[in-house]
Structure 1
């Protein structure tokens, strides 16, 4: 299948969405009985459709930079990259039928999510939507997948998602309502993948142990000529749930596969140079008010090259540690802390993309424009972020309302000056975002 043919990327995305909607409608009795999973019947179809939901959410924000960088970018910040400018990050709608994890029966559901805004620039798929838009505000199919629960192997069964998937690795994701901060940590931007076309499986081995595995075309690529190389990539890992009386959860995910474009490194190198992603995080719920999260990430890429003094080459490495603290002050206010150390060993990871399509052009292997860290040796970055999130229960069909004023301190910890147009070794930004969902 080649998604870069005569159809536009948007047309392909709409086609995918229509197929994924059609499949569940033909499987209307999936929850009724395993032997009648594909039979028809009006009453069963109505029952299957009864818990389909449509939700929407809007987010906008700003991170002000008193240093007034020239050019006007907050270095190392994807979602609030334009300093001192308010922007619409996301306007999204999600149509879905969820799987009920408490029932180990045959079940079929789906998720369809469309997203418009400035965040979309970083979450495209090559060959699906990456060439449709040139402005800062762009449109993507953020999710379009069929969801299946299979009562196989163990009492917990096996879950599968297939289609356009949001990458599962890491603590911070695309949905602003599911993360503590408006901005993202370096780890969440440069050392975890964003989007996939493929299939993910979660096997509930025991109430404590889940095993995760999956296969896809690569990070933010699709099929055929719209893949930046000709080899797949995949995940493997585990979850440990309900440890220490339900207070502790540990998630480990590893990923391996080639991720570099043949247009950048050649066909053989693109197919054989592997990228190894590894992320483990643990969340401990101390009490009803306080929770702690720690994340360790290590990435190695055999295909990203940097010259050594002897003229030879080596792969790129990055390792990081991120700590989070969340304290619920009362039912409406929560204090959040994030501290991070991120080591970019040869300045191959951290960069700011200075045109609206540069990030996706870099993944595809096309020409792109960036501001990078200092050359010559690696950089160790520090990030300290603080906020107080205001999240009242407004009712009246308002699913979520959230205000998050944020201050952030970034610093290069080894005497380099990557910030504010290369003038400073540190950067102070402040601002935040507002989210409303219905």
Structure 2
């Protein structure tokens, strides 16, 4: 099994890597009733209306109302980006190939790994029916998410559209720049037990989100790529205990495993959300089980704690703490540890613009998640701009420029020749 990491190294190292990261719910994930009034750490400006452009267009031909009456929503987004690395790195990702000695442009990143190249990151389409556990009756729903673009290279799970991943001689994960994936495909069942139980079965995101709407920045933190899985395939239940507390718990085939599995074991995972009050939300999530290829015995444990605090009407603060441990990580009995902290501050300036800052510290003992024993730091500042906040359709467009500086206590950047990396980037997201 590959730890899907955004800490990108040489081709030989990257072939064994995978990704994981920041534990935040998707912008489209319906939170349990207990936490719906809690602050939203990822919303830099006012939320968009429930009916997006695609459903509005469908309404003109009479399709939207029958779908909405059945509780079905069809929606999506498209994202494009550009990143510039001021180091002018030694190679282009298009030339990235074995043998070792070729380097990617922007080490330490997930989706923004290319320098001086325009990307079509995501063309994403969702068909979803959200179940309502508060009605006290059985209800069936689910979601299918289809994704095409450059980001799909990093999202493939084991056995699902990962046929390119074995050919690392072609590119960072093999194959063309734009690829296809199905990040989520699951069924939901509402069960009238107590306050209402939701059971989800299939492939889903749980700990972190690839949806650009789930972040205030285009680039992602180091901890986003080194601590937790992208997707899980299995089952879990969500139960609302009271108006403040909800819990999730379930099992899966393993980190980023789906149609195929890298061992014969399962893992268990869970989460608790506690809304202390209208301003403060605590979320703790963890996963544990054997995750290494062909290994049913040596466990991996990872945990994520987020604290979100709404300071007044326009300011949101967030702290994200991650920790991971892998038993017998090297095959010689040695264990691996990785842990880090990310701090966010989001300030809404007006209905069109918000500003955000992120500071991060990440430690990789022994280099299990990055391939290099190192301590990483990063600082990012950026804006979220909605240039047409009142237009019926263009209000769903947002543009996010940012500048970022990365630092390692080892020579990690620019072909393992520098300790500092400085980039500027911009992405545009249109939700339809």
Bin of the TM-score, shorter chain as denominator length: 0.7 to 0.9
1:145 pairs with 2:186: yes
Partners of 1:96 and 1:112 within 8 A in 2 = yes
Distance in 1 separating the partners of 2:374 and 2:385: 35
**What's the counterpart of residue 260 of structure 1?**
292
Cα distance 1:334–1:106, how it changes in 2: closer, same or farther (>3 A)?
Answer: same
How many aligned positions are there?
Answer: 346
Q: How do 1:374-389 and structure 2 match up within 5 A?
A: 378-389=373-384
Distance in 2 separating the partners of 1:47 and 1:130: 33
Q: Any unmatched runs of 5+ in structure 2?
A: 1-65, 93-104, 165-173
Partners of 1:51 and 1:97 within 8 A in 2 = yes
Specify the SS of the correspondent of 2:296.
Answer: helix
Q: How do 1:69-218 and structure 2 match up within 5 A?
A: 69-72=89-92, 73-100=105-132, 102-131=134-163, 134-152=175-193, 154-155=194-195, 157-166=196-205, 168-170=206-208, 173-218=209-254
Q: Any unmatched runs of 5+ in structure 1?
A: 1-45, 263-269, 307-311, 351-371
Cα distance 1:218–1:399, how it changes in 2: closer, same or farther (>3 A)?
Answer: farther
Candidates 247, 254, 267, aligned match of 2:279: 247
**What's the counterpart of residue 390 of structure 1?**
385
- Give the C-alpha shift of residue 144 in structure 1: 0.8
- Give the C-alpha shift of residue 222 in structure 1: 2.2
Specify the SS of the correspondent of 1:276.
Answer: strand
Partners of 1:399 and 1:437 within 8 A in 2 = no
String of CA shifts for 1:214-240, please: whole Å, max 9, x gaps.
Answer: 1110111125xx211110112023110
Partners of 1:398 and 1:437 within 8 A in 2 = no
Candidates 395, 400, 425, aligned match of 1:404: 400
Distance in 1 separating the partners of 2:210 and 2:271: 21
String of CA shifts for 1:384-420, please: whole Å, max 9, x gaps.
Answer: 11101102435434562110001111001x3x11001
**What's the counterpart of residue 435 of structure 1?**
429
**What's the counterpart of residue 53 of structure 2?**
none
Specify the SS of the correspondent of 1:271.
Answer: coil
Specify the SS of the correspondent of 1:121.
Answer: helix
- Structure number with the bigger relative contact order (C-alpha 8 A, sep ≥ 6) is 2
**What's the counterpart of residue 360 of structure 1?**
none
Output the aligned Cα RMSD: 1.9
Candidates 70, 74, 88, aligned match of 1:50: 70
Specify the SS of the correspondent of 1:120.
Answer: helix
Partners of 1:394 and 1:401 within 8 A in 2 = no
Candidates 214, 225, 233, aligned match of 2:267: 233
Distance in 1 separating the partners of 2:328 and 2:175: 29
**What's the counterpart of residue 219 of structure 1?**
255
Distance in 1 separating the partners of 2:83 and 2:326: 31
Partners of 1:221 and 1:228 within 8 A in 2 = yes
Cα distance 1:291–1:47, how it changes in 2: closer, same or farther (>3 A)?
Answer: closer
String of CA shifts for 1:157-195, please: whole Å, max 9, x gaps.
Answer: 1112111111x225xx21101211101111111111101
Specify the SS of the correspondent of 2:335.
Answer: strand
Partners of 1:343 and 1:380 within 8 A in 2 = yes
Partners of 1:333 and 1:389 within 8 A in 2 = yes
1:65 pairs with 2:104: no
Distance in 2 separating the partners of 1:78 and 1:213: 28
Cα distance 1:399–1:96, how it changes in 2: closer, same or farther (>3 A)?
Answer: farther
Specify the SS of the correspondent of 1:304.
Answer: coil
Distance in 2 separating the partners of 1:117 and 1:183: 16
